[in-house]
Amino acid sequence: MNNGLPLLTLAIWVPILSGLLVLATGSDRNAATARWLALAGAIAGFAVAIPLATGFDTASHSMQFIELTSWIERFRIRYHLGIDGISLLLILLNSFTTVLVVIAGWKVIDSRVGQYMAAFLVMSGLMNGVFAALDAMLFYVFFEATLIPMFIIIGVWGGPNRVYAAVKFFLYTLLGSLLMLVALIYLYNTAGGSFSIADFHALPLGATAQLLVFLAFLVAFAVKVPMWPVHTWLPDAHVEAPTGGSVVLAAIALKLGGYGFIRFSLPIAPDASHDLAGLMIALSLIAVVYIGLVALVQTDMKKLIAYSSISHMGFVTLGLFLFDRLATQGAVIQMISHGFISGALFLCVGVLYDRLHSRQIADYGGVVNRMPVFAAFFMLFALANSGLPGTSGFVGEFLVIMGAMKINFWIAFAAATTLVFGAAYTLWMYKRVVFGAVANDHVGELQDIDAREWLFLALLAAAVLAIGLYPAPLNAVLEAPVSDLLAHVAKSKLPGN
Amino acid sequence: MTLPVADYIAAWPEILLLTMVCVILVADLFLRDDQRGTTYFLSLATLAMCVGVIVVSARPGVHFALNGMFVDDPMADVLKVMVCIAVAAMLVYSRQYAMQRGMFRGELFTLVLFATLGMMVMISANHLLTLYLGLELLSLSLYALVALQRDSKDNTEAAMKYFVLGALASGMLLYGMSMIYGATGHLEIPKIAQAIAGGEANGTILVFGLVFVVAGIGFKLGAVPFHMWVPDVYQGAPTAITLLISSAPKLAAFAFVMRLLVESLGAHALQVEWRQMLILLAVASMAVGNITAIAQTNLKRMLAYSTISHMGFMLLGVLAGDLNGYGASMFYVSVYTLTSLGAFGMIMLLARDGFEADRLEDFKGLNRRNPWLAFLMMLLMFSMAGLPPTVGFYAKLAVLQAVVNVDQVWIAIVAVLFSLVGAFYYLRVVRLMYFDEPTDNTPIRGDAGVRLLLSANGLAALLIGIMPGWLMALCQRAIQASL
């Protein structure tokens, strides 16, 4: 199965070590070296993730590519890696996105290039670690460590208000994860001295304990997702971050929250999950509907996409707390699809921003006259974001709405409004930016995308269409982990059951 | 009476150190000012020899010596080795700084070594008087060191404050010790414990004594509400001495807490009493330390408040009141010493003649001026903030696990919330270094030794963070073998 190579270790450490290598190139005199090294590292990182996909056994219900070594004896913390279908998809998404981000930052970033590229590579490795960790403390270390490169990325290469955004991002997410740390330690003690996630899953817990543990996890993961009302860091962070930062934030970092719910909250505290499902569904629907409306009135493109992200991530939490097979699968597919679409939209805005240095919708108009190829790509992603059938955006949302319909018509109805609002804010923005007559002289001077930009947009377009037209492989990979998850959540952990 | 030779083995490192200090003291008289380097190397060699002797003479188990005045156990060995390393690092870091300020004189070295001797005596004390003797040797050396630049108003003021409050604390401590003596009739630590366990002691007097002892400990650790001296002394003292005060003595203070509270007054009934007091001290320290640090613009002062909060965290492990907790505390204090050394070392490296580099603005744009130093400082700051993958995280993890383990989950929650507050001001340093442009573009000079040591120190914060198991296990084994 894993033909002897520790593939997951490679998926984590190849990007991190190549990041350090890039860092060693030093000052901007060696910027070209740093760029090529970073590209090589990112591609190598993706290359080591491919055997994970080809060697993956979709029929298996257990973790695959297991690696297990003792790490910190004193607390029996183990270097324990392994993946199921959900982690596999997220690792592939992450490794793929890293390549795009390196290409996207190729020309745009001209100061401290080495540090920029290194931060992304290190982060990519850490994210893979989060998705592959089967030991709760190992998970936590990776989870927290991702904050550091992201903080630096926003703060160093971000927009005018970057310092505020970076600190807000950092403190918000740290607050959540510190409470999770206490919960993990509590579980460790209750489990008789083990940080193994599998042991946590099997641990019987009383109602109060479950509730508290669930709430601690909720703070951590809700901030990451982000759920309403703890979402306010996200628009700030997105707007100020450089394009690459926004892409990674939207495509990968937000997924840590959804993944956390799947790996921790639901299986560890199933009874509390059921008890609080109403609250979670309500919060998710607020995110979907209310944040969708907020997106409608944005004048800044990045902010609009940021709010759209929150609204779409609402589908993930909604799908997870319906405890339905279709909805859960839909939630995971939505995570993957949102990774591609929001990444693509941020890259599109980046393409425009690099040329005009403005994110305001009002500064554009008639872009199609000067950039027809770009307009076509942008169109595809805008439609995917609105949930057009045939794109990946449709699959996840549709499955979640189907699942909701089985449970309650009104939940499904509220969720379905996103198809209207999503189309409204995305396409209205698209119309104002792209169509019409050339709005001003700056737009008149625009050049269409070059080969580099064409490359990353085309790669994303292919991914969005592939998932949209033929989602069966995704469903096959998700079949086993989703049914395991549902079986786990359905079983009460209360003593006496 | 006859003293068996084996009796002295326990005190070999101290005997060696004392002899060498006397040799250095005399030898230094015959050196000209430009030959002061000899004193420096002799001092380093002395510390290295001490480490050697401690390691070679380390024996498993607990050994009492000098008629029960002195004890040699694995905890003492480990702590003493750390103290010697920390003091040696302090000497290396401060060499250039001291030279520029005319402090590179014999007094510096002899006083530092006497302070080291004081710490070692404290760590190995098995008798309240030995404990007090070590403490005073340390404190008096530190008072003098703070005032080493006698023409500096700031230094003298800091020394004065330190001395007055330190003397007050010693008074409290002695008063408490006298009550313990009155209640139990013993000064020897194991005998005190026996007397209490045997129920011979007068409970009321004992509890009164305990209160005074805890207050004295609070003063020495700089725990709230006995912390007032810490910021003033940290800021007022020359950075080299601040570095000394904030590093190795914390290791000794940990031993001090262990010997007094755990070994002598560790009986269950008393433990309940001191646990309550320590909870108050710890929570107040974390709160005041972290919140007040936000308002500081002087880095030394900020780190002083940060020390206060770290001492609060360290007390968490002690108040857990079991071997697990003591081991966690010991790990915490060693990690704290490591990061504190690095942070002050960085300030001294950036300082130059007539410029202290102790304001936060002085770190602006360090990433532009020297990316490697900025990276190291970032590691140190994140380690202080307790973020993985740096070693500071595991220190926090260990003490938090210890308090959760004794069902004090609420303290753990309070602690993490205050460490979130703490993250804010550590983050500010990182922010200044990375996000701002430099206002001062003077090239950073520093001898290769300092740079090398600083690199090792900063990287240790990361590398021990990636492989923290051995240090945790070392601390835990030392505690288990000693109690």
pLDDT, one tens digit per residue, over A447-470 is: 888 888 888 889 889 988 888 888
Helix B229-236 with B153-184: angle, nearest 10 deg:
140
Q: What's the length of chain A? A: 497
* pLDDT at residue number B44: 93
Cα–Cα nearest to B116, from B93, B91, B84:
B84
Given a cut of 70, whether residue B4 has pLDDT beyond it is: no
* Band of residue A1 on the pLDDT scale cut at 50, 70, 90: very low
- What's A55's DSSP letter? T
Instruction: Give A140's contacts in chain B (Cβ within 8 Å).
Output: 388
Q: How many CB atoms lie within 10 A of CB A4?
A: 6
Q: For A191, which residue in chain B has the nearest alpha carbon?
A: B405
Q: For B423, which residue in chain A has the nearest alpha carbon?
A: A171
Q: Mark A392-422 as b/e (b = at least 16 C-beta within 10 Å).
A: bbbbbbbbbbebbbeeeeebbebbbebbebb
Given a contact cutoff of 8 angstroms between Cβ atoms, the answer to whether A64 and A11 are in contact is no
Cα–Cα nearest to B416, from A224, A175, A221, A75:
A175
Q: Which two tokens stand for residue A481?
A: 């982990």
* CA-based nearest distance B6→chain A, Å: 34
pLDDT for B117-146, tens place per residue?
999 999 999 999 999 999 999 999 999 999
Q: How far from B61 is each of B52, B360, B430, B477, CA to CA, in Å?
A: 19, 47, 45, 11
Residue range A159-184: mean pLDDT, rounded: 86
Q: How far apart are CA A143 and CA A220, in angstroms?
A: 10
* pLDDT at residue number B52: 93
Q: How far apart are CA A354 and CA A343, in angstroms?
A: 16
Given a contact cutoff of 8 angstroms between Cβ atoms, the answer to whether B396 and B382 are in contact is no
Are residues B393 and A185, on separate chains, in Cβ contact within 8 Å? no
Are residues A26 and B371, on separate chains, in Cβ contact within 8 Å? yes
pLDDT over 70, % of chain A: 99
* CA-based nearest distance A324→chain B, Å: 34
Are residues B423 and A151, on separate chains, in Cβ contact within 8 Å? no
* CA-based nearest distance B176→chain A, Å: 37
Are residues B435 and A144, on separate chains, in Cβ contact within 8 Å? no
Q: How many CB atoms lie within 10 A of CB A129?
A: 26
Query: Across chain B, what does the average pLDDT equal?
Result: 89
pLDDT for A60-106, tens place per residue?
888 888 888 888 888 888 888 888 888 998 999 899 989 888 888 88
**CA pseudo-torsion sign A178, A184, A187, A193:** negative
B182 contacts: CB under 8 Å, gap ≥ 6: B202, B205, B209
Chain centroid to Cα B128, Å, comes to 20
A189 inside 8 A of chain B by CB: yes
* pLDDT at residue number B304: 92
* pLDDT at residue number B5: 55
Q: Which two tokens stand for residue B157?
A: 């003021």
Given a cut of 90, whether residue B49 has pLDDT beyond it is: yes
Cα–Cα nearest to B396, from B457, B472, B477, B456:
B472
The residue behind tokens 């040696």 is B88
Q: Phi first, then psi: give them for residue A32, nearest 5 degrees.
A: -65, -45
Given a cut of 60, whether residue A346 has pLDDT beyond it is: yes
Q: How far apart are CA B430 and CA A131, in angstroms?
A: 28
**CA pseudo-torsion sign A19, A21, A23, A28:** negative
Q: What is the DSSP string of B247-275?
A: SHHHHHHHHHHIIIIIIIT-SHHHHHHHH
Given a cut of 60, whether residue A230 has pLDDT beyond it is: yes
Cα–Cα nearest to B216, from B132, B310, B315, B99:
B132
End-to-end CA distance of chain A: 37
Residue range A146-161: mean pLDDT, rounded: 85
Given a cut of 60, whether residue B3 has pLDDT beyond it is: no
Comparing B87 with A64, the larger pLDDT belongs to B87
Q: For B378, which residue in chain A has the nearest alpha carbon?
A: A148
Cα–Cα nearest to A56, from A458, A497, A482, A478:
A478
B34 contacts: CB under 8 Å, gap ≥ 6: none
Q: Which two tokens stand for residue A281?
A: 């569904």
Are residues A182 and B394, on separate chains, in Cβ contact within 8 Å? no
* pLDDT at residue number B47: 94
Instruction: Give A127's contacts in chain B (Cβ within 8 Å).
Output: none
Q: For B410, which residue in chain A has the nearest alpha carbon?
A: A182
Max Cα separation, chain A?
74
3-state secondary structure of B9: helix
Chain centroid to Cα B461, Å, comes to 17
A126 contacts: CB under 8 Å, gap ≥ 6: A12, A16, A142, A145, A146, A149
Nearest to A163 among B388, B417, B431 (CB): B431
Q: How far from A346 is each of A303, A414, B331, CA to CA, in Å?
A: 10, 27, 45
Q: For A181, which residue in chain B has the nearest alpha carbon?
A: B397
Q: How far apart are CA B146 and CA B272, in angstroms?
A: 38
Given a cut of 50, whether residue A2 has pLDDT beyond it is: no
- ipTM surpassing 0.90, yes or no? no
A77 contacts: CB under 8 Å, gap ≥ 6: A71, A135, A137, A138, A195
User: B298: which strand partners?
Assistant: B359
* pLDDT at residue number B2: 54
A17 inside 8 A of chain B by CB: no
Bond before A149 cis per omega within 30 degrees = no
Are residues B397 and A137, on separate chains, in Cβ contact within 8 Å? yes
Cα–Cα nearest to A27, from A115, A90, A147, A94:
A115
* CA-based nearest distance A493→chain B, Å: 22
Interface test with A, best of B329, B366, B420 (most A CBs within 10 A): B420
Nearest to A74 among B413, B431, B472 (CB): B472
A185 inside 8 A of chain B by CB: yes
Q: For A166, which residue in chain B has the nearest alpha carbon?
A: B431
Instruction: Give B417's contacts in chain A (Cβ within 8 Å).
Output: 178
* CA-based nearest distance A157→chain B, Å: 9
Query: Across chain A, what does the average pLDDT equal?
Result: 86
* pLDDT at residue number B302: 92
Bond before A229 cis per omega within 30 degrees = yes
* pLDDT at residue number A3: 54
Give the amino acid at B39.
T
Interface test with A, best of B404, B408, B462 (most A CBs within 10 A): B404
Q: What is the DSSP string of B369-421?
A: H-HHHHHHHHHHHHHHHT-TTSHHHHHHHHHHHHHHHTT-HHHHHHHHHHHHH
Q: For A73, which residue in chain B has the nearest alpha carbon?
A: B469
* CA-based nearest distance A72→chain B, Å: 4
Given a cut of 60, whether residue A331 has pLDDT beyond it is: yes
A152 inside 8 A of chain B by CB: yes
Interface test with B, best of A70, A182, A223 (most B CBs within 10 A): A182
Question: How big, in percent rounded to 5, are the helix, strand and coil portions of chain B?
Answer: 80, 5, 20
Interface test with A, best of B316, B408, B424, B427 (most A CBs within 10 A): B427
Nearest to B382 among A148, A166, A186 (CB): A148
Interface test with B, best of A25, A73, A74, A75 (most B CBs within 10 A): A74
Given a cut of 90, whether residue A353 has pLDDT beyond it is: no
A141 inside 8 A of chain B by CB: yes
Given a cut of 90, whether residue B105 has pLDDT beyond it is: no
Interface test with A, best of B401, B405, B408 (most A CBs within 10 A): B401
Q: For A24, which residue in chain B has the nearest alpha carbon?
A: B372
Instruction: Give A174's contacts in chain B (Cβ within 8 Å).
Output: 387, 420, 423
A150 inside 8 A of chain B by CB: no
Given a contact cutoff of 8 angstroms between Cβ atoms, the answer to whether B376 and B346 are in contact is yes
Question: How big, in percent rounded to 5, are the helix, strand and coil portions of chain A?
Answer: 75, 5, 20
* pLDDT at residue number B110: 92
Q: How far apart are CA B57 and CA A297, in angstroms?
A: 75
Instruction: Give A151's contacts in chain B (Cβ within 8 Å).
Output: 427, 430
Q: How far apart are CA B78 and CA A294, in angstroms?
A: 60
Model pTM?
0.90
A173 inside 8 A of chain B by CB: no
Query: B87-90: long-range contacts at Cβ-Cβ below 8 A with a sequence spacing of 24 or more?
Result: B87/B47, B87/B112, B87/B113, B87/B115, B87/B116, B87/B244, B87/B248, B88/B44, B88/B47, B88/B48, B89/B247, B89/B341, B89/B345, B89/B453, B89/B457, B90/B240, B90/B243, B90/B244, B90/B247, B90/B248, B90/B341
Q: Which two tokens stand for residue A409?
A: 């018509």
A167 inside 8 A of chain B by CB: yes
- What's A357's DSSP letter? -
pLDDT for A388-446, tens place per residue?
888 888 888 888 888 888 888 888 888 888 888 888 889 888 888 888 888 788 777 87
